Amino acid sequence: MNLNNFTFNTTSGIRFGNGTSKSCVSEISQKLGPNILFITDKDLMSLKLTEPTLIELNKLSSKVEVFQDVEADPSLKTLMNAIEIGKKNKITGVIGFGGGSSMDVAKLTSLILGSNENIEEAWGVSNAKGPRLPLILVPTTAGTGSEVTPISIITVGEEEKKGVSSPIILPDIAILDPELTVGLPAHTTAATGIDAMVHAIEGYASANKNNNPISKMIAVEALKLLGGSIEKAVFEGSNIEARGNMLLGAMLAGKSFANSPVAAVHALAYPIGGTFHVSHGLSNSLVLPYVLRFNSVDNKATKDYSDLAPFLFPDIDMSKGSQAICKEFIDRLENLSKKLGLPQKLREVNIPKEACKKMASDAMKQTRLLVNNPREVTENDALNIYEAAW
């Protein structure tokens, strides 16, 4: 193996197990200090998923301020509101409890409260200065892997998404509690599960110069866990072993792409989410087979995808050439999405065909991601991919 220099950063502490969101509360309290900002969303509050953690936290901390206004694809306004509440309450530490949106808001809230820097200067790669406040993340979906990634995505203006990417916003501790994911609806489980697979596939095949053996190794392990459990998690929602495997798989995929960044699947998914408010996981799922087919013209991408095939689909015939294996891998991914009951075409989520042109133009703004794609994507290529997916 040709070993180039690389860096690998990850969350310093991980706690995994049923009930850890309650049993780890004294550690959470010690880490976050007396005045805690608890960032979540209204759905989780109304489902009372947050209750066991909040009850225990309130016993141990002087003050727990709950911010529950996080929405899907959180806006800059929401982030600034959370920061304002944090300042007013002299917060000493932040916990993000929820899906990727709550965790993204928590990351940047802890950064700005800790450093008082200007968010406008933090956008982009390695521009955040820090320090941040103590930060703990508790995922309630098995998808984004945000609890182990140095990335936070916020919607600015009407449709555009901007990101902060910096190891400074990796949390101190990620708490993975499979019990929190048991109530996830089947369609959310499916979409977030495919999202995690995309992270592993794109992380493994990334053209980024920091693609490295550690990221590749854990992408493989992620796909084994995800591929072996996604159908059980979707169709037997209370199967706690499958839920645990999905949570671990999503976390490993997160570690992989946190260091070997994702590419064109994500770049083309963002305009679908930003303009049409389709969930991030489903946006990825809708363009995934079309982007992979586009990339598979590239010999290295073909080899990477065929190398991954048996980990996701153990019964695939590996005696065929890499091109045939790669083709079957992509076809099977498409069929898996169909089997899980996810929409297959952009038109099924009410996206008009004429929107493809603007989405192609918007996707070109995602240069941070497109540079990692195994094959260069022009605006015309993006348009062709969207039209194929329509």
Instruction: Supply the pLDDT for residue 71.
Output: 94
Instruction: Supply the pLDDT for residue 2.
Output: 60
Tokens of 377: 């994507």
Q: How many CB atoms lie within 10 A of CB 186?
A: 15
Instruction: Supply the pLDDT for residue 4.
Output: 86
Cα distance between the two ends of the chain: 40
Distance CA 319, CA 111 (A): 51
Distance CA 179, CA 176 (A): 9
pTM for the full predicted model: 0.96
Shortest CA distance to 356 belongs to which of 263, 268, 291?
A: 268
Decide if 189 contacts 38 (C-beta within 8 A): no
Render the burial of 324-348: b for 16+ CB within 10 Å, e for the rest.
ebbbbbbebbbebbeebebbeebee
Instruction: Supply the pLDDT for residue 92.
Output: 98
Instruction: Supply the pLDDT for residue 3.
Output: 74
What parts of the chain have a pLDDT lower than 70?
A: 1-2
Return the axis-axis angle of helices 186-205 and 213-235, rounded to nearest 10°: 160
DSSP code at position 145: -
Q: Where are the domains of the chain?
A: 13-180, 185-389
Q: How many CB atoms lie within 10 A of CB 72?
A: 15
Instruction: Supply the pLDDT for residue 331.
Output: 98
Shortest CA distance to 18 belongs to which of 247, 221, 236?
A: 247
Cα 192 to Cα 111, 118, 230, 311: the distances in Å are 26, 32, 10, 19
Instruction: Supply the pLDDT for residue 1.
Output: 56
- Choosing among 1.10.760.10, 3.40.50.620, 1.20.1090.10, 3.30.830.10, the CATH entry for 185-389 is 1.20.1090.10
Tokens of 107: 């990351």
Topology adopted by domain 13-180: Rossmann fold (3.40.50)
Instruction: Supply the pLDDT for residue 161.
Output: 81
Side by side, which strands form the sheet with 173-176?
13-16, 173-176, 135-139, 93-98, 35-39, 63-67
